Each structure stands twice: as structure tokens, then as C-alpha cells.
Copies of this chain bind each other. A is one copy, B any other.
Amino acid sequence: MGAVKTKRMPRAVREQQMLDAAVRIFGRRGYMAASMDEIAELAGVSKPLVYLYLNSKESLFTACIRREAEALVEAVRAGVRRELPADRQLWEGLDAFFTHTSRNPDGWAVLHLQARTHGEPFAAVVTAMREEIVVFVTQLIVDAAREAHRDPHLPGREVAGLAEALVGAAESLAAWANATPGTTARQAAATLMNFAWAGLGDLMDGRPWSPPEPDQDAQDRGQTGGSAETSPTR
């Protein structure tokens, strides 16, 4: 099991192997239940080497969190075209988010489940990343109001709460989509977009938010999109 034992490789490479193994073990077993022995074995190296490069279990865990947080933020950032209208940006962000988390479930487990469960030092990194995303979403909500030429009657705290709810719903859906076979990132994004933008009330009235044309959009980004399930234009 674990990586093939290739001897004598440069430090940078070994470090990534170790982080790969650590993310996998931490994500599945949890921080405390993960043992350095298991991580080292999965990485195909001896324990002392793990300590030599990553210093301690805490520091290894932190390195995992940091790497995964940066990768996630980067994935979302790269998936959003800032010149589009706010709702389209939100859609793209959600799509990128669900895509990344579904492709990288262990990393997502580290961020979403493990990091938050083991005290300030670790949680802080995730909190910072989450804050970045919440701020981004908050801005999108404000932009959307401006684009609608409306005074949204929304005080600051209210907007914060909405952004928080949206991000929370996304996080939760990510786990659900991963656990529900046959659910694509695109479908999860569409569901949430509808929920967030149109609301249950409008959905009851048959007025969902309209996701972009899947085919055309896929061509734009080079992705193979399944069609969102609820898509009549409002």
C-alpha cells in the first residue's frame, strides 16, 4: 500500500507526498485518531523523515490545512469571471466550489470537519479562509442590489447573516453531494443557486432563477456540464 518506494528524492517532492498522505489520513480518521506511523507508511517514508521535514503532528496538520485552504480558495477564484453580473459570479463560484470539493473529498473533510474540531490554532486558518469567501459573497449580494437599482433595505448584519447562511448551505450541500451517488457538482450548484436566489416562495410560484445555458457555458470554460435540473428562465 502507499506510494511506491522510490528512494532518494528531493525534499520538496517528498514533502508533497507526505502532505498527500497526511490529508488522506487526517481527512478519514480525524486529527487525533490519525497516527504518524500510518501517515509515514502511506507516504512511503520512515517516521523520522516526516518529523525532519514537518516538525510535529500539529505542524503537519497545520501545513495540510493551509495547503488545502489555499487550493480551495484558488479554485474558486479561478472559476469566477469578475466581469459578469453578480448572480452569474455566484453561480460560477458555487460551481467551482462543488467541483473542487467533490474532486478532493479528503481535503474538504480536513477543512470542514477536522480543522474546526481541534482548537483555535487550527480553526483560525479555516476561519480566515471562510471569512475571505464570506466577504466575497457579501460583496456579491451588495453588488446584486446595486445592479437591481434597488435600496435593498438590508442592514449590515442582515447581509452578513445571509452570506453566512449561503456559505453554510454550500458547505453542507458539498458533504451531501459527495455522499449521494449520482449527484454532480453542477446539480448541487443549480439547486443551491435556485434556493438562494429565488427562494422557496418563488420556487412554489414556478419562478426559479435561471442558470446559464449549460452547453454554451461549458464551451466557455472547457467543462462538460450536466444540465441543471430546474432551469426555465424566470
Name A residues whose Cβ lies closer than 8 Å to a Cβ of B. Answer: 30-33, 113-114, 116-118, 141, 144-145, 148, 150-155, 157-158, 161-162, 164-173, 175-176, 183, 187-188, 191-192, 194-206, 208-209, 229-230, 232
- Which residue among A117, A170, A198, A232 has the maximum number of chain B CB atoms within 10 Å of its CB? A117
Taken together as a complex, chains A and B put the C-alpha atoms of A31 and B113 apart, in Å, by 13
A152 and B117 within 8 A (CB): no
Query: Do A148 and B188 contact each other (CB < 8 Å), given the known contacts A30-B118, A165-B173?
Result: no
Q: A157-B183, A197-B200 are in contact. List 8 more A-B contacts (CB 8 A).
A: A30-B32, A31-B32, A162-B191, A165-B169, A166-B169, A166-B200, A168-B171, A168-B173
Query: Do A195 and B165 contact each other (CB < 8 Å), given the known contacts A155-B229, A204-B150?
Result: yes
Query: Do A201 and B204 contact each other (CB < 8 Å), given the known contacts A168-B168, A168-B172, A229-B155?
Result: no
Q: Can you list 27 contacts pairing A with B, beta carbon distance less than 8 Å?
A: A30-B118, A33-B118, A117-B117, A144-B204, A145-B204, A148-B204, A153-B208, A154-B230, A155-B229, A157-B229, A158-B229, A161-B183, A161-B187, A161-B188, A161-B192, A164-B172, A165-B169, A165-B173, A166-B169, A166-B200, A168-B169, A168-B173, A168-B175, A168-B176, A171-B172, A196-B200, A198-B199
Return chain B residues, CB-CB under 8 Å to A205.
Answer: 148, 150
A163 to chain B, nearest CB (A): 10
B198 and A201 within 8 A (CB): yes
Task: Tell me which of B31, B32, B33, B202 contacts A199 (CB under 8 A).
Answer: B202
A197 and B199 within 8 A (CB): yes
Taken together as a complex, chains A and B put the C-alpha atoms of A153 and B205 apart, in Å, by 9
B195 and A196 within 8 A (CB): yes
